[in-house]
Structure 1
Amino acid sequence: MKGFLEYVPGNSFLHRLNPVAKLAASLLIIFACFLTKSFILLGLILVLDLALAANCGMMRQTLGLAKVVAGFSLLLALIALFTTPEGAQLVALPWGYIGTGSILAALRIILRLVACAVPLFLVFYVTKLNDIANSLVKVCRVPYKYAFVFTSTVHFIPVFMNDMSGIMEAQTARGVEFDGGLLKRIRLMIPLCVPLLVGSVRKTNSAAIAAEVR
């Protein structure tokens, strides 16, 4: 995802809101998502997420994020589907059954993860990492080293993703095809982790030296 977790300038309500308030609101939404089992409430939270994304002009990035999170949550949903024998039986299994409640549990996992992921990622899209670090230190009294570690970790995520994308493009130019099944793509991507790790170590060392100089 191009621009993943990278700050997008703007003048929306979310852009102007205090960084600590954004983090607190996103955490409250996440807690609400995990505390409720109501599809109605989860749906309302997701609608609120999309409304906030539209307000700050981040609908395209938000829909892309929702698609990625939904894809990753499918594994957890399948586990819940086959291990949660609830409701009227639909399919008998050797260790239980798949019921109407099993399907609802699987759908609830997908909806819950998408609804709680969007607000947290929106915070990073509409807030500079330096502003987050400064607010954590000044308002929440978080020690600077912890705030620095947190923001540095978030900063390196899009950097690593861009590096991996560049490595894959270079391999594609050499004739490597990443099309095909999931297992094939995983097998082709494993060797690419070596140059990615080397580049990551170099970037980490550079960041450590810069921090020591400060």
Structure 2
Amino acid sequence: MTVLAPPRGTQRIHSINPVAKLAASLLLSAILLVTIDWVSAAVALALESVLFVWAGLGPRAFFRRTFAIWIAAPLAGLTTLLYGVTSGQVYWQFWLMEISDGSISLAVATVLRILAIGLPAVVLFATIDPTDLADGLAQVWHLPSRFVLGALAGMRLIGLFLQDWRQLELARRARGLGDSGRVRRFAGQAFALLVLSIRRGSKLATAMEARGFGGSTVRTWARPSPFGAREWLLVVAGAVIGAVAIAVAVATGSFNLIIG
């Protein structure tokens, strides 16, 4: 499935267990969410840039995969700049919008933190194969096999949903229903896709039950999911990056605890 297929040139990180990538991303995000300041986010982003090079993604693949993050971060920063907490000197004010020292600092911290959390998550998940992830969740984290296989089947259907959407659009245009009324056309097409997906899901569930996927016996797995030194190294790297970022923020006095 091309939608979820890992990009080319990622052999170095592609071979690492997907569970380790998921754990490293969640651990780093949890640590960075403790504080909101530009120092910790900037330090984390600088350290992560080394891992981005090691991941093996080319510049074109990297920016294509992270394009949404580069758009969302400035937009969130702009909103924070205009409507953030007012403190210090006020530089501009109009109705509810106000730019001050506090809002500027908060906006910069927001942009950097979104980049520091979002970029490594996208890079790591871009190199994950859904089947490998299911193997890791079942064998390493010992999640219920029925849940894991059901989620895997659902992810595998995403590509089919995109094909169904295109076929529905072409069919409606052939019948003369797609020339006007974009909102009404979208609603009708979305409802048709919902009905089609429910029917396909029911058939898939019946087929999986018939093949014994819903049994209560302990499943065996065709491919092992090893979790060794490389996986632990990636998890430790995520924790170290977060810890160093927090330590630098505390040392510079910019640490701003947001939970308590």
Please confirm whether the aligned pair reaches a TM-score higher than 0.5, indicating the same fold. yes
Unaligned runs of 5+ in 1: 178-183
Q: What count of residue pairs does the alignment treat as equivalent?
A: 208
1:4-83 aligned within 5 A: 4-8=3-7, 12-47=11-46, 48=48, 51-52=51-52, 55-57=55-57, 59-72=59-72, 76-83=76-83
**Contact 2:45 2:116 (8 Å CA) reproduced:** yes
Shift, 1:54, TM fit: 6.5
Unaligned runs of 5+ in 2: 212-260
TM-score normalised according to structure 1 size = 0.70
**Contact 2:69 2:119 (8 Å CA) reproduced:** no
Task: Evaluate the alpha carbon distance shift between residue 165 and residue 68 of structure 1 in structure 2; reply closer, same or farther with a 3 A threshold.
Answer: farther
CA distance in 2, matches of 1:135, 1:26: 15
Shift, 1:86, TM fit: 2.9
Task: Evaluate the alpha carbon distance shift between residue 85 and residue 120 of structure 1 in structure 2; reply closer, same or farther with a 3 A threshold.
Answer: closer
Task: Evaluate the alpha carbon distance shift between residue 40 and residue 203 of structure 1 in structure 2; reply closer, same or farther with a 3 A threshold.
Answer: farther
TM-score normalised according to structure 2 size = 0.60
CA distance in 2, matches of 1:188, 1:53: 44
Deviates more, 1:156-165 or 1:97-106: 156-165
Shift, 1:99, TM fit: 1.9
When Rg is computed on C-alpha atoms for both structures, the one with the higher figure is: 2
1:181 maps to: none
Task: Evaluate the alpha carbon distance shift between residue 29 and residue 3 of structure 1 in structure 2; reply closer, same or farther with a 3 A threshold.
Answer: farther
CA distance in 2, matches of 1:172, 1:46: 47
CA distance in 1, matches of 2:65, 2:141: 29
Task: Evaluate the alpha carbon distance shift between residue 46 and residue 204 of structure 1 in structure 2; reply closer, same or farther with a 3 A threshold.
Answer: farther
Shift, 1:200, TM fit: 2.4
Q: Which has the higher helix share?
A: 1
1:135 maps to: 136
Shift, 1:25, TM fit: 1.0
Question: Relative contact order: is structure 1 or structure 2 higher (C-alpha 8 Å, sep ≥ 6)?
Answer: 2
1:201 maps to: 198
Shift, 1:130, TM fit: 1.8
- Give the ranges of 4+ consecutive aligned residues of structure 1 lying more than 6 Å apart after TM superposition: 169-177, 184-188
Task: Evaluate the alpha carbon distance shift between residue 96 and residue 33 of structure 1 in structure 2; reply closer, same or farther with a 3 A threshold.
Answer: same
1:71-150 aligned within 5 A: 71-72=71-72, 76-87=76-87, 88-95=89-96, 97-150=98-151
Shift, 1:165, TM fit: 5.5
Deviations 1:146-175 (A, max 9, x none): 323443454444544454466567778989
CA distance in 2, matches of 1:5, 1:68: 16
Task: Evaluate the alpha carbon distance shift between residue 37 and residue 52 of structure 1 in structure 2; reply closer, same or farther with a 3 A threshold.
Answer: same
CA distance in 2, matches of 1:186, 1:72: 25
2:237 maps to: none
